[in-house]
Chain A
Amino acid sequence: MLGGFDCVRPRSVDEACRFLSGTSGARVLAGGTDLLVEIRNRLRSPELLVDIKPIEELAQLQLDGPQLVVGASVPLNRLAEYRAVRQSLPALADSALSIGTYQLRNRATLIGNVCNASPAADSAPILLVCGAELSVASTDGWRKVPISALFTGVKRTCLAPGEIVTAIRIPVPEEATRTAFLKQQRIRGHDLAVVNVAGSYAPASKTLMVSVGSCAPTPVLLEPVDTDGNSLDSLTSHVVELAEAATSPISDVRASAEYRRAVLPVLLRRLLDQLLEGGVGS
């Protein structure tokens, strides 16, 4: 047995919220691939797990006008295989597919990856770039949290106890906008990120958005960059400068700060190559 917890399987968001606020030691169980490992390793000892998978509305995955709506219980494989995602937001699919193994992705969810709030969360950079918004429910009602406000520290979010993220709404970029995601691992097999980056380039507005993960206590969204009139080289230098100012890579068991600092500009250059492939402003 993994621990001393009980489990409930509510059928509605309201019921889930009541369970979550009713017990101080209650946690949401979606994919379980982070939570159950933490329980096994005795990093967390919740009394109650609230399994949200039976709640139908949390399984939604659809295009709602200009937004992609992903429910809290949508596993990563299902997300990555959704045609609309592959077509209009390939970087999201790439991010999802870079997480864990095929088996893991049949359980782990996008929102779980976000709420786990690891600085290295692979889904975070592209969601930051796109300006995603989380729908959050509690016994007090509903609120929306822009993802830029979500991450407050290493594995910490602005969510209050008793709150549950029910869906994430991701503005789908315009057709001409390119998105990309790159991740540096230690091995080609499944691995956490040593450095990860995502970006988008909208030719219409000539705006470049870049986000960097694994180099600070939280994933970081850089300020938007106007590409107008600038060469790829100078844009790259500028983005690298912004990134270095906004991040503070550390040495840990995975990699040294030196390696992270060495790889970050490389990934950023390659990211920009991919995004601006057709040439700046074309």
Chain B
Amino acid sequence: MTAELRYVGKSVSRDDAVDKVTGAARYTHDLALPGMLHAAVLTSPHASAKIVKIDSSAAAEKPGVRAILTGDGLCYRLGLYMQDKCILARDVVRYQGEPVVAVAADTLDTAREACRLVEVEYEPLDPILDPRDALEENSPLVHPDLHTYEHMKGVFFPRAHSNVAHHQKVRKGDFDDAFASAAVKLKAEFYNPPVQHVPMETHAAIAQVLPGDRAEIWTSSQSPYTVRHLMSVAFGLPHASLRVHVPYVGGGFGGKAGLHLEPLAYVLSKATDGRPVKIVATREEEFNTLPSRQGLHSAVEIGADKNGGIVALKATYIWDAGAYADYGVNIGRAAAYAGAGPYVVPNCWIDSFVVYTNKIFGTAYRGFGHLEVLWGIERAIDRMARKLDMNPVEFRRMNLLREGEITITGEPFTSGHGSPVECLDAVAKAVEWGTPSEPPSEPYRVRGKGIAMLHKAPAMPTYTSCAAVIKLDEDGAADVLVSGVDYGQGTYTVLKQIAAEELKIPIDKVHVTWECDTAFSPYDWQTVASRFAYMGGNAVIEAAADCLQQIRDVAAQAFDVTPTEIVCEDSAAFVTGAPDRRIPYPQLALGYTFENGNSIGGPIIGHGRYIATGLTHLDPQTGQGLPAQYWTYGAHAVEVEVDTQTGEIEILNIVTAIDAGKVLNPKLCIGQVVGGVVQGLGSALWEGFRFDKNGRFLNPAFVDYKIPTAKDIPRRTEQILIENPQPDGPYGARGIAEHPMISVPSAIGNALFDALGVEFNTLPLDYERILLRIREKSEGA
């Protein structure tokens, strides 16, 4: 691609921004249908209990109540990878906050009041709250019937009669031997608490059952086709009988990737003879009922030779899946194959256990396990560097994957992967690694610097695919149809740029149709995993090529030449070398008519698709295989300042380098990076679910669950976007959406050691934890 690009690589503004700045953008929260009912749920106050009795008679008498449902009548099991979840709790409740009763009524107030009138009798049981306890031989079981659940065979391996939803292994070389004879050894343990995505728009869905066993669904979702598919499987309906619409979505971050409120809205609509039913999560329900990011306990062991070469790495990841493990199992899988970090590890042993507990269940969250894993790995790497008396940057540089090396799953690293070393060097330089910080303004404040690497590949099935359709309008403009969802990341704008570039038409003549509708928009797997720009981009390129081919065919007939003699440029098709023999696209878009009236061709509709290629399943015993369509590497370097008397930490500077392959839109790309860094800051410094000893969630609201505000952002941030092309990416691009979040906590943890000489192994690094550890250290001294 040596010619100058007109649109790709430019900071084109988003079209959808106009709808958003005027308030015209309608989200599922804003939709209303004639005759629509409103739903509310009653949730469990207990983390683990038998449901003894439900008496809804008082609620049923309330005027305006149209349906009351309990789990009894809903014997469907749902899940994409592991079908372990019911629509409403059946027989038992497995987490405090689990929906037990649902009411549909004329108004939301009526539905909520009705819920309060339902009496539920529980027999509380002892909850299992720590996944490490749940792994014990005689632990009570969260899912005694685990062995009967449908799941994706060959990929996930639930252990019958246990709390293990999945166990992923990596076995490479001989860890025991290599570690035993390693010159320097390190062992450390780490913990990440569960956190929530906190999309500004909470989960919402509307469902309307139609005659003939059909249904229409509107949902704030990242994956219309997954919603359709899972509903089809769960309710035994043909896919075509379910139509899913996704309007504007107010943030997802993975939390809206699967099936959430849609089945409940659907069964309520069924129970009300086809009234549309809308269910919107309150913010408390978003925290306490809808899924989280799994907590993680990790234990890491690293062995190195005296020159600093890593010879062995062992990691045990115990994922706190919560009550249901649908996405959790895939995160556990990804954590294993990515679980040694971006390093050359000749002898590697990883166990990743996804374990049920009686807490809110986890789901996909930006980073898909990699933030949690790299919290441990990158902290351990830093500690090992110090043990070796090596500069942490040098230790990393020495051990990073490079061309010619093999990953822990046996995947060869090529130049097409991009360059982790370049990312490391870029951030080290930008933060003046090795130069001490400027002294702070007060004697009780200290500063420090830290670095961490990041890596991730899309964690997706081997058959993940995507399609795009481009149709031309009467005026030669192009409509692009996809069903990946743009929930803020800006991919539709990027696809617009690509379509304009490929079709050779002005960018303001390209429109990406905003709302996804499974009746019209072609298939896309899910908008997760940082794969939409990559796969959608490739699909759009192919669709554009298809359009151009159709255009050439018609123009060739019109001019009585062969299609290879037709050039498409500037919204027209003309004969090579004879530019005055040209037909502008508007005259071809719906077919071409000769002077005498005879018409040829027809509406120009191009289609393109892209399917993951070359991926293999991972060997269940060794984890060997090819899980990654592509890897994206990066690094953060951070400078922090700590008030050693109060524990307050401020980020002075955070530099992020990512090897993006090709920056398709600098403004959008930087927006993703800054946004991801600040979201990572939340995980690093403030966020974490708190539970009491009975498993009750203690901070399900913004009062006590803090996310960064405009006052909390780093004093300075810097983004370095490196472009070593991804050979099979659109224009050389690879995905970067999740990556900016991933190693923010690790870099800060490392910087805190530099500043304070204190090891932090548990997140969040809030002021209290920092101060109390400082005092612990000084008291111990």
A residues apposed to B, CB below 8 Å: 1, 184, 186-192, 253-256, 258-259, 262-263, 266
State whether A253 touches B771 (Cβ < 8 A): no
How many CB-defined contacts (below 8 Å) exist between A and B?
Answer: 49
Known A255-B768, A263-B771: A187·B709 in contact at CB below 8 Å: yes
Q: Are B646 and A189 in contact (CB under 8 A)?
A: no
Which residues of B (703-735) have their CB < 8 Å from a CB of A? 703-704, 706, 708-712
Q: Are B771 and A186 in contact (CB under 8 A)?
A: no
State which of B646, B690, B706 has its C-beta within 8 Å of the C-beta of A191: B706
Chain B interface residue count: which class?
20 to 34
Report if A186-B698 is in contact (Cβ < 8 Å); known contacts: A253-B690, A262-B772.
no
Across the interface, name the chain B residue whose C-beta is closest to A2.
B109
| Contact (Cβ within 8 A) B712 A258 | no
Chain B contact residues, CB within 8 Å of chain A: 109, 645-647, 685-686, 690, 698-699, 703-704, 706, 708-712, 766-768, 771-772, 775
The answer to whether A259 and B771 have CB atoms under 8 Å apart is: yes
- For this complex, 30 residue pairs linking A to B, each with C-beta atoms less than 8 Å apart, are A1-B109, A184-B767, A186-B686, A186-B706, A187-B685, A187-B706, A187-B712, A188-B709, A189-B706, A189-B708, A189-B710, A189-B711, A190-B709, A191-B706, A192-B703, A253-B690, A253-B698, A253-B699, A254-B704, A255-B768, A256-B772, A258-B772, A259-B767, A259-B772, A262-B771, A262-B772, A262-B775, A263-B645, A263-B646, A266-B646
B residues less than 8 Å from A1 (CB atoms): 109
A14 to chain B, nearest CB (A): 34
Residues from chain A with Cβ under 8 Å of B685 in the complex: 187
- Chain B nearest CB from A176 CB (Å) reads 27
B767 to chain A, nearest CB (A): 6
CA distance A262 to B711 in the complex (A): 25
Q: How far is the CA of A184 from the CA of B647 in the complex (A)?
A: 10
Q: Which 10 A-B pairs have the closest CB atoms?
A: A189-B709, A188-B711, A259-B768, A266-B645, A187-B706, A189-B711, A253-B698, A188-B712, A1-B109, A253-B704
Could you list 18 further interchain pairs (A-B, Cβ under 8 angstroms) beyond the known A186-B768, A187-B685, A255-B768? A1-B109, A184-B646, A184-B767, A186-B706, A186-B767, A187-B706, A188-B709, A189-B711, A190-B709, A253-B690, A253-B698, A253-B699, A256-B772, A259-B647, A259-B767, A262-B771, A262-B772, A263-B771
A256 CB contacts on chain B under 8 angstroms: 768, 772
CB < 8 Å: which of B712, B766, B775 contacts A189?
B712
Closest CB-CB distance, A244 to chain B, in whole Å? Answer: 16
Residues in B neighbouring A187, C-beta threshold 8 A: 685-686, 706, 708-709, 711-712
Please measure, in the bound complex, the distance between the C-alpha atom of A253 and the C-alpha atom of B691, giving whole angstroms: 9
Residue of A nearest to B704 (CB): A253
**Chain B minimum-CB-distance residue to A259:** B768
Please name all residues of chain A whose beta carbon is closer than 8 Å to the beta carbon of B766 when the two chains form the complex: 186
The chain A residue sitting closest to B771, CB to CB, is A262
Q: Report the nearest B residue to A258, measured CB to CB.
A: B772
Complex interface: chain B residues within 8 A of A186 (CB): 686, 706, 766-768
- Bound Cα distance from A189 to B678, whole angstroms: 14
With the chains together, A192 CA to B705 CA distance in Å? 12
The smallest beta-carbon distance between B507 and chain A, in angstroms, is 38
Nearest A residue (CB) for B711:
A188
With a cutoff of 8 Å between Cβ atoms, the chain A residues found around residue B709 in the complex are 187-190
Residue of B nearest to A189 (CB): B709
B442 CB to nearest chain A CB (Å): 10
Tell me, in angstroms, the Cα distance from A133 to B146 when the chains sit together: 66
Residue of B690, B709, B712 most packed against chain A (CB within 10 A): B709
The smallest C-beta distance from B564 to any residue of chain A, in angstroms, reads: 62
